[in-house]
Structure 1
Amino acid sequence: MTANALAMTIQGAVDHVKQNPSAAQATYKAKVLLDKGVQCSAFVRKFPAIILDEPPNLGGNDAGPNPVEVLLVSLGACQEMVYAIYASMMGIELDSVTVYLKGHLDVRGFMGEEGVPPGYQEITFETRIESQADAKSIEALIRTVEACCPTMDTIRRPVEVRGKAFLNGEPVVAV
Structure 2
Amino acid sequence: MKQSKIILASSSPRRKELFEKYHLNYSVDFVDTDEVLDENLTLFKRLENIAIQKAKPLQEKYTHHTIVAADTMVTFNQEMLGKPKDRSDAKRMLQMLSGHKQTVITGVCVIKDQHIASFSDATDILFKKLSEEEIENYLDTNEWEGKAGAYAIQGKASQFVENIDGDLENVIGLPMYKLLNYL
* TM-score when normalising by structure 2: 0.23
Larger RCO (CA under 8 A, 6+ residues apart): 2
Q: Which has the higher helix share?
A: 1
Structure of larger gyration radius: 1
